[in-house]
Amino acid sequence: MTQGKGPLNYTTTIDPTKTAGECIAALARHGAGKIMMVYGSDRRPSGIAFEIDTQWGHRTYTLPVNVDGTHAALKKAHRQGHITPKYTEREQAVRTSWRVLLVWLEAQLALIEAGVSVLEEVMLPWQMIDGDTTVFQAINNDQLALTSGGGG
């Protein structure tokens, strides 16, 4: 079995609550005013929502964790012989999902700090536009039309 080709952070042992706290702290350091845990239908934390002032006024964003997707990726990596079975349990998927969110968030915040991007740009897909719908979900569900951008 070849080790080390599993999903990002698949070996983490860090409790999801600790990771969520690190996400919250990072958002607070970068100006988020209200930060909330989002809970799924299973009553487990499924992401973080935050409010922040932007160049267009006060906006809300929701950053999800995808435990089901991560769990599927862990099982696939095991089937392919890349990771051992101990990393395919659902609780491992929960831990891994939260660590991946933290890494992604830290990378986005680093881009903002470096002047490569602005918060409104990197967080746009996750901006809430209709109570419980993100910009990406609206586009994906044909509720928000985009042109091809081809011009001409």
Q: How do residues 83-102 score in pLDDT, each as one tens digit?
A: 999 999 999 999 999 999 99
- In a domain, residue 1? The reply is no
pTM of the predicted protein model: 0.88
Per-residue confidence band for 1, with pLDDT thresholds at 50, 70 and 90:
very low
Per-residue confidence band for 3, with pLDDT thresholds at 50, 70 and 90:
low
- In a domain, residue 111? The reply is yes
- In a domain, residue 97? The reply is yes
- In a domain, residue 146? The reply is no
- Residue 53 near residue 120 (C-beta atoms within 8 A): no
- In a domain, residue 28? The reply is yes
N-term to C-term CA, the chain: 53
- In a domain, residue 135? The reply is yes
- In a domain, residue 144? The reply is no
The domain total for the chain is 1
- In a domain, residue 77? The reply is yes
Where is pLDDT greater, at 10 or 141?
10
* 123: phi then psi, degrees, rounded to nearest 5: -95, 0
Please report the DSSP string for 58-107 in residue order.
Answer: EEEEEEE--HHHHHHHHHHHHHTTSS-GGGGSHHHHHHHHHHHHHHHHHH
